[in-house]
Amino acid sequence: MNTRPESDPRDTVVTVRGLTKSYGGRTVVDDIDLDVRPGEVLGLIGANGAGKTTTVECLQGLRRPDAGHVRVLGLDPVRDADRLRQLVGSQLQSSGLPDRLRVSEAIRLFAGPDAVDADRLLEQFGLAHRRRYPFGGMSGGECQRLFLVLALLNRPRLVVLDELTQGLDPAARREVWAAVTRLRDEGTTVLLVTHELAEAEALCDRVVAMRDGRVVDQGSPAELVARHASRSTVRFSLEEEALDDVARTLQELNALPGVDQVLRHGRHVTLEGSRAVIAHAGAWLVARGLPVPDDLRVEVPDLESALLRLLDDPVVEAPHDLEGVLA
Amino acid sequence: MNTTTTHPDRPAAAGRRHPSVTRRLLTTELRLLGRDPMTLTFVLVFPIVSMLIIGGSFGTEAGGGFPVDPSQWYVASYFTVVIGSTGLIMLPVHIATYRERGVLRRFAAAGFPRWSFSLAMLAVGLTAIAIGGATLLAVAAPVYGVPHVDDPVRVAAGVAAASLAFVSLGVLLGTLLPTARSAQAVGLMLFFPSFLLGVGGPPPSVMSDAVREISERLPLALANQAIREPWLGLGDATGALCATVVIAIVAAGLAGRRTAL
């Protein structure tokens, strides 16, 4: 029996059940379920072509689903498109503004009757000095921050950000991340579409991983890392003193909490295990009273390694009852 | 459900209605019109420069294939060039550029009504024609003089029908062509043969029978006849006017069906 997660529409900003969309016979979104809860930053992650953008375009009423039930803020995105778009702020992938449109003109164009104080938003996003600038003369980071301002202008109840930092340099990316962090702190519900996993890990309360149009897992970044990422690793070299009694040293390391495996190659030692290994190996190194090895290296599992592992796995059936498991 | 922004409210200006999306879009597009080099080149500069060159090339006496003073013939004809360049080049390129750069998607996602952009484009096209046409006549006045309008009602009807027809064609082409480059290529390909054969090129009398036959049936040539003939007192051009009205109705209908942003 197909058991789909039940959700109270009052507890969700977005409810999707069985969403399917095909282009020219190719299924791009394949029977997915999705919930976005009020006040959370939900990341839709996956490789290019996973179906993320098509999914959010269906949520925004920009594409008509082939099958499935979609409700955004209680509205049908196709039937109630005009009403819904007043309530959703969007930063779309591959979208722009006329090059010669100035920032202040863009604000006037997009500001509805209930718009917030645009001057304050521009101030908040570091664009107050760019009011007279044409869109075509702004840097990539400034353009993205302007899109954020426009997305927030009309008091949206949901903000959709699609590939927000694509093509930005590291400094500009940090600026935009800081802006999204502010949104989260203010309690704005955000649906963030990204294939930048560091971005999802830094910004999202919960992530939904997609592959080939299907949801393969969802949960907090920490939960996905715990479920799918490889083990933590600590590497360092032993000093002469430790090599004198290498058997005892290795025995001590092997007994550290969280250690699954100790590997030695000459002077080089590698400890593998849970995250606890990092703390206990550090404590062990300090407790010996010897200098901390110069070549100490720690590898912590992250969302990227988790997703890579997820993508390497054989096809995973979309877990319709996963929501209950993770709740 | 929580409301999600904590930004401060801006009290609505007492007694002032917030402008509608269509009005905001129209205001913005009209403002951008003057900053668009494509508009300045093809709607203002090209017709005026061409009119100044060719208008003085055949003298000022009727004859040699011209039923009236050739300079007057070309001043009246080049008014239609403004209409053609607006509809076949400026608007398709403008709209296709917007689609290519995701501006139309942004408008759609912002909840702009589906027809608001088409309406704005219609207004922008008509405004461009009005400004371009007025500028052309203003430049022509001290050089060749503005020809006397023999039948103002028919000329006004011709200008209105031709403007609506070619602005609608422009919106239609803009919604059909995927990129700015393709719009430019198709627009130029449609415009220049029509311009040379039917409007601003040599007089029909110097053309071969076959070429003249073709040139008289080109849409821009029909629009030109509907304006020029009653303007210069060469006839009422009822057939050309009717054909232009039909083109306007069909093009506007098709453009209206393609209004989805």
Beta-bridge mates of residue A71: A15
The answer as to whether B43 is a domain residue is yes
CA of B205 to nearest chain A CA: how many angstroms apart? 45
Neighbour count for residue B240 (Cβ, 10 Å) = 24
* Domain segments of chain A as ranges: 9-87+157-227+305-326, 231-300
CA of A150 to nearest chain B CA: how many angstroms apart? 9
Joined tokens for residue A319: 């877990």
Residue type, A196: E
The answer as to whether B252 is a domain residue is yes
Q: Is the pLDDT of residue A8 over 70?
A: no
Let me know: does A155 contact B3? Beta carbons within 8 Å. yes
The per-residue b/e assignment along B46-70, b for 16 or more CB within 10 angstroms, e otherwise, is: bbbebbbebbeebeeeeeeebebbb
Selected for mutation to probe chain B from A110, A122, A153 (highest B CB count within 10 Å) is A110
Task: Give the H/E segment covering residue A15.
Answer: strand A14-23
Q: Is the pLDDT of residue A321 over 60?
A: no
The answer as to whether B1 is a domain residue is no
**pLDDT of the residue at B51:** 94
B chain contacts of residue A92, beta-carbon cutoff 8 Å: 102, 105-106, 109
Residue type, B233: G
A109 to B5: CB separation less than 8 angstroms, yes or no: no
| Terminal C-alpha separation, chain B | 30
A96 to B102: CB separation less than 8 angstroms, yes or no: yes
Share of chain A above pLDDT 90, in %: 39
Strands A268-273 and A26-36, bridge-based pairing:
unpaired
A chain contacts of residue B18, beta-carbon cutoff 8 Å: 112-113
A186 to B5: CB separation less than 8 angstroms, yes or no: yes
For A210, list phi and psi in degrees, rounded to 5: -115, 145
Separation CA A136–CA A109 (nearest Å) = 17
Separation CA B67–CA B76 (nearest Å) = 13
SS3 content of chain B, % helix, strand, coil (to 5): 70, 0, 30
A120 touches chain B (CB under 8 A): yes
Instruction: State the average pLDDT for chain A.
Output: 85
Q: Residue A101: closest CA among chain B residues belongs to which residue?
A: B32
The answer as to whether B244 is a domain residue is yes
- CB-facing half-sphere around the CA of B126: CA atoms within 13 A: 13
What's the CATH architecture for A231-300? 2-Layer Sandwich (3.30)
**pLDDT of the residue at B6:** 37
Query: What pLDDT digit, counting tens, does each position of A143-170 carry?
Result: 888 988 898 898 888 999 988 887 677 8
Instruction: Tell me the pLDDT band of A255, cut-offs 50, 70 and 90.
Output: very high
Give the list of residues 6+ apart from residue B136 with CB closer than 8 angstroms, or none. Answer: B47, B48, B51, B75, B78, B79, B82
A137 touches chain B (CB under 8 A): no
B chain contacts of residue A109, beta-carbon cutoff 8 Å: 24-25, 28
Rg (C-alpha) for chain B, rounded Å, is 21
Given a cut of 50, the residues of chain B with pLDDT beneath it are 1-14, 261
For A180, list phi and psi in degrees, rounded to 5: -70, -35
B16 touches chain A (CB under 8 A): no
Residue B93, domain extent: 21-257
CA of B192 to nearest chain A CA: how many angstroms apart? 27
Strand, helix or coil at A89? strand
The A residues from 177 to 236 touching B (CB cutoff 8 Å) are: 186-189
Q: How many domains does chain B have?
A: 1
Helices (H) and strands (E) in chain B, counts: 12, 0
Query: What pLDDT digit, counting tens, does each position of A105-150 carry?
Result: 999 999 988 888 889 889 888 889 999 999 999 988 888 889 888 9
Q: Vertex A104, ends B42 and A157: CA angle to 5°?
A: 120
Strands A190-194 and A41-45, bridge-based pairing:
parallel
What is the DSSP code (8-state) at residue B44? Answer: I
Closest to B78 (Cα-Cα) out of B122, B86, B124, B89 = B86
Give the list of residues 6+ apart from residue B140 with CB closer than 8 angstroms, or none. Answer: B51, B55, B75, B78, B146
Separation CA A301–CA A273 (nearest Å) = 11
Separation CA B44–CA B215 (nearest Å) = 24
Instruction: Tell me the pLDDT band of A7, cut-offs 50, 70 and 90.
Output: low
- Could you give the angle at which helices B91-100 and B116-143 cross, rounded to 10 degrees? 140
CA of B169 to nearest chain A CA: how many angstroms apart? 22
Tell me which of 3.60.15.10, 3.20.20.150, 3.40.50.300, 3.20.20.140 is the CATH number of domain A9-87+157-227+305-326: 3.40.50.300
Helix ranges restricted to H, A167-302: 170-185, 197-203, 221-228, 240-244, 246-255, 276-287
What is the DSSP code (8-state) at residue A65? Answer: -
